[in-house]
Structure 1
Amino acid sequence: MKKRALQPTGDTYTCLFEACINSPWPADGLKMATHLRNHMIEKGIEPNLTNYNVMIKAFGRCSDIPTAFKIVDEMISKKIKIRVHTFNHLIQACISDKDYGLKHALIVWRKMLKMRERPNVYSFNLMLKCVKDCNLGSREDLLEIVSLIQKHMALLQIKAKVLQDSKTSLPLHIQHNNDHKNLNNNQTLKLDCASNKIAEETLDFGNQILEDVKINTNKTQTQTTDLVLINQNNTSLELIENYKRPEQHVEKRTAPNLLSKFVQIDKILGVQEVHTPKDKFAIIGGQEDFLKEMEVNSVKPDIKTLTQMLPLIEDTLEAENKLLETMQILNIKSDIDFYNALIKKRCFRQDYDSAFVSYQTN
């Protein structure tokens, strides 16, 4: 390209970093990626979001995790919005560290939740791969993660308290609405535009906090009171009494799950070292609560999710059948890789009859 006087674009650098990722020799790929990044700095080439993401992916795959995190710090210093795709590349970088990769991945996950980025199906699949391939470290490393979660939970509680205080301090003007005489002369409460704007700015703490506040508010109110948007110009809200809405049943989760935004810290009775894949999977919810966490984030698992979950669940026929039932409920079509992993798992525990049944089903 230089000989032909062609100017490289952002796509050119993206493809070159991808070539470093696909190198069969990671040390050589890391050397070329470092040279390419230094070249961009020397020439004053400003990377775009795609370039930053592929750089994180390249240095992470080549086992240079510090440089991958340094690039993220550079993005933050330049006020570039960190999206879920960037966090996914960081989790990929953590997987390259087999000794402490799970610890780093959990810290990245907490940072993602703190920045109010919702994980997608690739995020959950990467966490399963990290649980399978990486270790968490010592007991002190797990305590460090729990301490980080406690700080995050304390911050969320402070924000929730400010949110509730702001709701109680909003000015409400009681007025009679003559245009709605068919509502049995019920009183109406109007919120003006300025108060509405303040409420929106104050309530911007994440969808989960808003849902919790709505649930708590509904419990304190009577069953026949709720907020309804009356006028079409979206300038005010009116509180209509005797307006009925069906109550939503919210299932309470008590198991501590380190992937959840709201972790039940009080349910953690003790901390011990985690080594086996089953124990590592338990700290992120296990088979049941991991899928519930995906449901909370409106993420539907795919066949890759269940295939990666298969080696992490209990080595029993009951747990495997439960996973198969989940697949049917979610209407997920199985593939050859899933059944191969299932047959292999059953053959290892010498359950040849069940393995043969899986072969016939396939």
Structure 2
Amino acid sequence: MLYNKYLSTRNSLIFIFVFAMIFTPILGITHETEWPGEKLAGIFPKAKKFVQRSVVLTTDKIKSIEKDLGSKLRKEDLKPIFYIPIDENKKPMGLVFFVDVQGPHGIIDGAVGLNMKGKVVKVAVYDHKESESITSEKFLKQFIDKGIDDAFAVGKDVEAVKGQEDASKAVALIPKKTLVMSYALFLKRKPKPETEEKPAPEEPTEEIPEVEDLKELMILMVDAYYAIIDYFDKGEGKEEAVSAAKKLVLYGKVISDFEPPLNADQTEEYTEMQEKFGKMLTEFADTLDKSGISDETREQWDQILILVNQAHIRFTGEEIDIESY
């Protein structure tokens, strides 16, 4: 039966959905080598907890960020780690990013908090070799409420500390770098309307359900996976199978926030596989919706399994006991 055929490969398929979400993220070359609890609380004091998210930068993404930033990224920027503050209702409040920039007399270590609208809520400066005046509230509070469309330029929208113009420029780069990287990786700019015509209404999009932890998200993925193989096996439940495929596309987008447990330095290959995986699932969901069970959808599903097995061999050497979930 088809069920037996697909059941034999379920461990490999589910592993690629979640293998990057079941291990503790490797800090590697980062700005913070220990959990920065006090610093995080200083930026979002009302947060009940913080969730760490690691991101893989592709070569194209690095070039895009450097172009928008107008300067080269430092080695420490290439494996960014973001911290998501969670409120008492288990809702994200924004993000925190720790940033290092080159100042006139050495490295300036800082952090920036952004709210859910992509606006700066706080800029903090920690270790540095500049004048203490660059850490003053009067200087730093001028960055609050600035966003991606602001210049962060001394003499334009930033007033420098008297006698510390170069250091002020360096500090202004801290929130600018945070915004450029955040928009390149997570956020989207709203296009400026060229006419006064009302935009077409957006189709409602499904959001990832609230989950307590990554294990709970894995359970959702397993349920969606079985809905598809049940449809192939029994020939019933097309609507549920199509919905499950679309959910897997949605859940799969989270995977790119994490590094793989093995060969983490192969960032381009890892990201390419993730993008290919999402594209194949999207095409599969569309074809399944139009044609149901067919030679084409069977072939698409088989190709997804092949890609999953390739990724499994490349980026991990361990199996997951799906039955434990």
TM category (shorter chain) comes to under 0.3
Q: Which has the higher strand share?
A: 2
Q: Which has the higher contact order (CA 8 A, sep 6+)?
A: 2
TM-score, length-scaled by structure 2: 0.26
Specify which structure has the higher proportion of helix.
Answer: 1
TM-score normalised over the length of structure 1: 0.24
